């Protein structure tokens, strides 16, 4: 038998190639995961999510809606289904949109619309054609339950009118909504909501406090509105826990979040938005009442941007070069409020903490002595971590605040809470 001898040079070459392949494979295994991409079939349009109370002179928001719909002469379908008086509400919104250059028109579809069968209207081919002719849709405020009642069939499926709205959005159109029109943007919306504190005390129930929304923003983000002026950030958290959301966005009044096809969020208007991240949060099931630890809360000010996929934050131009130095804080006094659910209280507390030598701030929430469970209150503890970042505006007294830790736990209040002297 003839023996075969492999030259040493070839053996060395094969060895080197084998090692290289092994290293390449290991690098592939241990490499950082690729940045998530926008799904190929994702809608190509843009959302304008308005927190309610949009003033006629807020040109920044109105003009952006018109521009996203195509600019001067853009056809925008006005859906006033949420209103108690759709005709009056619709006429007001049409006048404002047209003032800023649109060619807006009223869609005669609503539970409260006089002399109209809303179920037939939602399947009417003429109305469907009318909606599809638009490059933008505007949902008015009111009661969000009236919107879903008008646009969803009793079995929960989409009516022909709603499919037409989705067609506008998928093909690059803009979907704008204020107040109730903002609430429908996520797959879950508040429906017949109790006061914020009562929801912390008694929880939320499907079909009562919450119900299905229309889900334009996707299934992974929860949306709320009228946020800062009504202290609603606290009611978002029990809903997010119940329905499995990790990310929540709450927009304030006279302000808007622009969410584009790349899932970039831009805040415009008068105020800002709160971003709540529960991806690392936990609850102690051994504690009877609502509680949560290690939630992250951020405040996105007007002009700020945040990408929902990459989680990258971009400060507004007036803050870009003014990142706060934690070693040189502007304040040193303790930060505390006994009404964390009050008008803008959470924003004031977060701003006062991020530029402070103090490492934590505390807010308390409690109700009227005649409310249910008067001895039950909640402590909201905001803490700075190594990931907390702040930016200050060079033009106004305004902050952007990123990644404060938030812990909420129940507390027992002594009764009576106070005595007359």
Q: DSSP string of 314-351?
A: E--TTTTT-B--TTS-SB-S-EEES-TTSTTHHHHHHH
Classify 31 in phi/psi space as left (phi over 0), alpha (psi -120 to 50) or beta.
beta
For residues 326-346, average pLDDT: 95
For residues 168-179, average pLDDT: 98
Taking only the tens place, the pLDDT of each residue in 66-79 is 999 999 999 999 99
Taking only the tens place, the pLDDT of each residue in 1-50 is 444 444 545 444 444 444 444 444 434 333 333 445 666 678 999 999 99
| Joined tokens for residue 219 | 């299934």
Closest CA to 372 of 234, 205, 198, 238: 198
For residues 158-187, average pLDDT: 98
Q: What angle do CA 394, 396, 402 make, to 5 degrees?
A: 75
| Joined tokens for residue 230 | 């009504």
> What is the widest separation between alpha-carbon atoms in the chain?
114
* Beta carbons of 189 and 213 less than 8 angstroms apart: yes
Taking only the tens place, the pLDDT of each residue in 211-250 is 999 999 999 999 999 999 898 999 999 999 999 999 999 9
CA 244 to chain centre: 15
Q: What is the rounded end-to-end Cα distance, in angstroms, of the chain?
A: 114
| Joined tokens for residue 342 | 């009050």
Pairing of strands 255-259, 264-269: antiparallel
Q: What angle do CA 160, 162, 167 make, to 5 degrees?
A: 95
| DSSP symbol at 282 | B
Q: Report the mean per-residue pLDDT for the chain.
A: 91
This prediction's pTM: 0.90
For residues 150-171, average pLDDT: 97
* Beta carbons of 118 and 109 less than 8 angstroms apart: yes
Taking only the tens place, the pLDDT of each residue in 251-297 is 999 999 999 999 999 999 999 999 999 999 999 999 999 999 999 99
pLDDT at position 36 is: 55
Q: What is the dihedral of CA 178, 92, 131, 146, to 10 degrees?
A: 50
Q: How far is residue 232's CA from residue 344's CA, in Å, rounded to a whole number? A: 10
Q: How far is residue 404's CA from residue 387's CA, in Å, rounded to a whole number? A: 8
Strand locations in 8-150, DSSP E? 46-50, 75-79, 103-106, 136-139
For tokens 């809903």, name the residue. Answer: 239
| Joined tokens for residue 248 | 């929540």
Q: How far is residue 280's CA from residue 261's CA, in Å, rounded to a whole number? A: 27
Q: How far is residue 14's CA from residue 318's CA, in Å, rounded to a whole number? A: 59
Backbone angles phi, psi at 17, to 5 degrees: -65, -40
Taking only the tens place, the pLDDT of each residue in 317-334 is 999 999 999 999 999 999
Sheet containing 255-259: give its strands across: 103-106, 75-79, 136-139, 174-178, 46-50, 255-259, 264-269, 305-307, 313-314
């Amino acid at each position: 038998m003839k023996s075969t001898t492999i030259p040493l040079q070839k053996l060395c070459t094969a060895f080197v190639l084998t090692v290289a392949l092994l290293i390449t494979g290991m690098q592939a295994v241990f490499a950082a995961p690729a940045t998530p991409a926008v799904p190929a079939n994702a809608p190509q349009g843009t959302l304008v999510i308005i927190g309610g109370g949009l003033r006629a002179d807020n040109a920044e928001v109105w003009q952006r809606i018109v521009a996203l719909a195509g600019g001067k002469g853009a056809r925008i379908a006005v859906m006033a289904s949420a209103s108690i008086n759709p005709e009056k509400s619709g006429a007001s919104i049409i006048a404002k949109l047209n003032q800023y250059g649109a060619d807006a028109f009223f869609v005669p579809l609503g539970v409260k619309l006089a002399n109209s069968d809303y179920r037939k209207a939602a399947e009417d081919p003429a109305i469907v054609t009318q909606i599809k002719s638009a490059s933008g849709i505007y949902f008015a405020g009111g009661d969000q339950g009236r919107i879903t009642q008008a646009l969803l069939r009793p079995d929960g499926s989409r009516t022909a009118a709603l499919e037409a709205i989705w067609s506008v959005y998928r093909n690059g159109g803009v979907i704008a909504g204020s107040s109730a029109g903002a609430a429908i943007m996520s797959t879950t919306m508040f429906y017949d909501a109790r006061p914020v504190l009562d929801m912390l005390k008694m929880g939320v129930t499907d079909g009562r406090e919450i119900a299905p929304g229309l889900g334009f923003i996707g299934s992974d983000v929860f949306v709320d509105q009228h946020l800062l002026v009504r202290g609603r950030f606290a009611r978002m958290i029990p809903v997010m826990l119940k329905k499995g959301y990790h990310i929540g966005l709450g927009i304030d009044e006279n302000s808007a979040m622009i969410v584009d096809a790349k899932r970039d969020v831009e805040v415009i208007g008068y105020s800002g938005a709160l971003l709540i991240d529960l991806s690392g949060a936990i609850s102690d099931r051994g504690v009877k009442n609502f509680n949560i630890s290690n939630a992250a809360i951020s405040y996105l000010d007007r002009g700020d941007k945040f990408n929902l996929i990459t989680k990258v934050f971009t400060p507004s131009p007036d803050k870009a070069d003014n990142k706060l130095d934690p070693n040189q804080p502007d304040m040193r006094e303790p930060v505390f409020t006994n009404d964390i659910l009050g008008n803008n209280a959470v924003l004031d507390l977060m701003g006062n903490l991020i530029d402070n030598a103090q490492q934590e701030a505390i807010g308390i929430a409690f109700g009227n002595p005649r409310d249910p469970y008067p001895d039950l209150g909640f402590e909201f503890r905001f803490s700075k971590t190594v990931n907390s970042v702040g930016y200050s505006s060079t033009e106004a007294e305004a902050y952007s605040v990123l990644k404060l830790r938030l812990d909420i736990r129940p507390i027992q209040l002594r009764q009576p809470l106070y005595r007359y002297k």
